[in-house]
Amino acid sequence: MKIPVKSTFAVCALLLSLSGMVYLLRAPIPDAQASVAVAVQVEDADSARSAITAMFATAPNTFNLPAASVRLSRSRLEGYAVCTPSTEATAAQYIEVAELLDKVSKHVGDFQRVVDAVMGSNTGMSDCDFRVINAIAKAATSG
Protein backbone atom coordinates (compact mmCIF):
# COMPACT_ATOMS: atom_id res chain seq x y z
CA MET A 1 0.00 0.00 0.00
CA LYS A 2 1.32 3.36 -1.05
CA ILE A 3 0.67 6.53 1.02
CA PRO A 4 0.46 9.75 -0.99
CA VAL A 5 3.18 12.34 -0.24
CA LYS A 6 0.58 15.03 0.49
CA SER A 7 -0.96 12.84 3.18
CA THR A 8 2.45 12.19 4.75
CA PHE A 9 3.18 15.94 4.98
CA ALA A 10 -0.27 16.60 6.41
CA VAL A 11 0.19 13.94 9.09
CA CYS A 12 3.66 15.29 9.98
CA ALA A 13 2.36 18.84 10.22
CA LEU A 14 -0.51 17.69 12.43
CA LEU A 15 1.88 15.80 14.73
CA LEU A 16 4.19 18.80 15.00
CA SER A 17 1.27 21.06 15.85
CA LEU A 18 0.01 18.67 18.49
CA SER A 19 3.45 18.28 20.06
CA GLY A 20 3.77 22.09 20.20
CA MET A 21 0.39 22.37 21.90
CA VAL A 22 1.34 19.69 24.43
CA TYR A 23 4.56 21.57 25.19
CA LEU A 24 2.66 24.83 25.72
CA LEU A 25 0.10 23.15 27.95
CA ARG A 26 2.83 21.67 30.12
CA ALA A 27 4.67 25.01 30.52
CA PRO A 28 4.25 26.55 33.97
CA ILE A 29 1.67 29.28 34.24
CA PRO A 30 3.08 32.46 35.81
CA ASP A 31 1.85 32.97 39.34
CA ALA A 32 -0.25 36.12 39.62
CA GLN A 33 1.17 36.87 43.07
CA ALA A 34 4.72 36.59 41.76
CA SER A 35 3.89 39.15 39.06
CA VAL A 36 2.49 41.54 41.64
CA ALA A 37 5.56 41.06 43.85
CA VAL A 38 7.84 42.04 40.98
CA ALA A 39 5.77 45.12 40.23
CA VAL A 40 5.80 46.19 43.88
CA GLN A 41 9.61 46.12 44.10
CA VAL A 42 10.11 49.67 42.86
CA GLU A 43 12.94 51.60 44.44
CA ASP A 44 12.06 54.59 46.57
CA ALA A 45 13.26 57.82 44.93
CA ASP A 46 15.07 59.05 48.04
CA SER A 47 16.92 55.72 48.32
CA ALA A 48 17.85 55.82 44.65
CA ARG A 49 19.09 59.40 44.94
CA SER A 50 21.16 58.54 48.04
CA ALA A 51 22.64 55.48 46.35
CA ILE A 52 23.51 57.49 43.24
CA THR A 53 25.20 60.17 45.34
CA ALA A 54 27.14 57.49 47.25
CA MET A 55 28.25 55.85 43.99
CA PHE A 56 29.65 59.14 42.77
CA ALA A 57 31.32 59.90 46.11
CA THR A 58 33.02 56.49 46.31
CA ALA A 59 33.99 56.02 42.64
CA PRO A 60 33.68 59.34 40.80
CA ASN A 61 36.06 58.27 38.03
CA THR A 62 33.76 55.43 36.93
CA PHE A 63 30.42 57.13 37.53
CA ASN A 64 27.91 56.34 34.78
CA LEU A 65 25.38 59.16 34.33
CA PRO A 66 23.12 57.34 31.83
CA ALA A 67 22.78 54.33 34.15
CA ALA A 68 22.11 56.58 37.13
CA SER A 69 19.48 58.51 35.14
CA VAL A 70 17.70 55.29 34.22
CA ARG A 71 17.77 54.16 37.85
CA LEU A 72 16.30 57.45 39.03
CA SER A 73 13.64 57.42 36.30
CA ARG A 74 12.46 53.99 37.46
CA SER A 75 12.22 55.02 41.10
CA ARG A 76 9.05 56.43 42.63
CA LEU A 77 8.16 58.90 45.35
CA GLU A 78 4.75 58.09 46.82
CA GLY A 79 3.97 56.22 43.60
CA TYR A 80 4.97 59.05 41.26
CA ALA A 81 7.98 59.37 38.97
CA VAL A 82 10.51 61.96 40.08
CA CYS A 83 11.90 62.74 36.64
CA THR A 84 11.21 62.33 32.96
CA PRO A 85 13.92 60.70 30.84
CA SER A 86 12.25 61.66 27.56
CA THR A 87 12.00 65.38 28.27
CA GLU A 88 14.93 67.71 27.73
CA ALA A 89 15.98 69.85 30.66
CA THR A 90 14.69 73.39 30.77
CA ALA A 91 16.85 76.44 30.13
CA ALA A 92 16.76 77.18 33.87
CA GLN A 93 18.09 73.68 34.58
CA TYR A 94 20.96 74.19 32.12
CA ILE A 95 21.81 77.45 33.88
CA GLU A 96 21.69 75.72 37.27
CA VAL A 97 24.16 73.06 36.07
CA ALA A 98 26.52 75.82 34.89
CA GLU A 99 26.29 77.37 38.36
CA LEU A 100 26.97 73.98 39.98
CA LEU A 101 30.22 73.74 38.02
CA ASP A 102 31.48 76.81 39.88
CA LYS A 103 30.47 75.43 43.28
CA VAL A 104 32.07 71.97 43.25
CA SER A 105 35.22 71.62 45.31
CA LYS A 106 35.70 67.82 45.46
CA HIS A 107 36.02 65.49 42.48
CA VAL A 108 36.03 68.55 40.25
CA GLY A 109 37.50 66.76 37.23
CA ASP A 110 35.10 63.85 37.46
CA PHE A 111 32.11 66.13 37.96
CA GLN A 112 33.21 68.16 34.92
CA ARG A 113 33.57 64.91 32.92
CA VAL A 114 30.00 63.86 33.76
CA VAL A 115 28.61 67.28 32.82
CA ASP A 116 30.68 67.51 29.63
CA ALA A 117 29.50 64.06 28.52
CA VAL A 118 25.84 65.00 28.80
CA MET A 119 26.32 68.45 27.30
CA GLY A 120 28.25 66.99 24.38
CA SER A 121 25.65 64.35 23.58
CA ASN A 122 23.36 64.65 20.58
CA THR A 123 20.27 64.30 22.77
CA GLY A 124 21.16 66.98 25.30
CA MET A 125 20.45 66.81 29.00
CA SER A 126 17.24 65.09 30.08
CA ASP A 127 15.24 66.01 33.14
CA CYS A 128 16.58 62.86 34.85
CA ASP A 129 20.17 63.74 33.89
CA PHE A 130 19.68 67.13 35.51
CA ARG A 131 18.34 65.61 38.71
CA VAL A 132 21.24 63.16 38.90
CA ILE A 133 23.77 65.95 38.31
CA ASN A 134 22.06 67.98 41.00
CA ALA A 135 22.30 65.02 43.42
CA ILE A 136 25.98 64.28 42.73
CA ALA A 137 26.81 67.97 43.06
CA LYS A 138 26.08 67.54 46.76
CA ALA A 139 28.82 64.92 46.93
CA ALA A 140 31.19 67.20 45.01
CA THR A 141 30.73 70.28 47.20
CA SER A 142 32.20 70.81 50.61
CA GLY A 143 30.01 70.91 53.65
Q: Residue 44 pLDDT > 60, yes or no?
A: yes
Longest Cα separation, the chain: 94
Confidence of residue 143 (pLDDT cuts 50, 70, 90): low
What is the reported pTM?
0.70
Distance CA 135, CA 72 (A): 11
Higher-confidence position of 16 and 121: 121
User: At 139, is the pLDDT very low, low, confident or very high (cuts 50, 70, 90)?
Assistant: confident
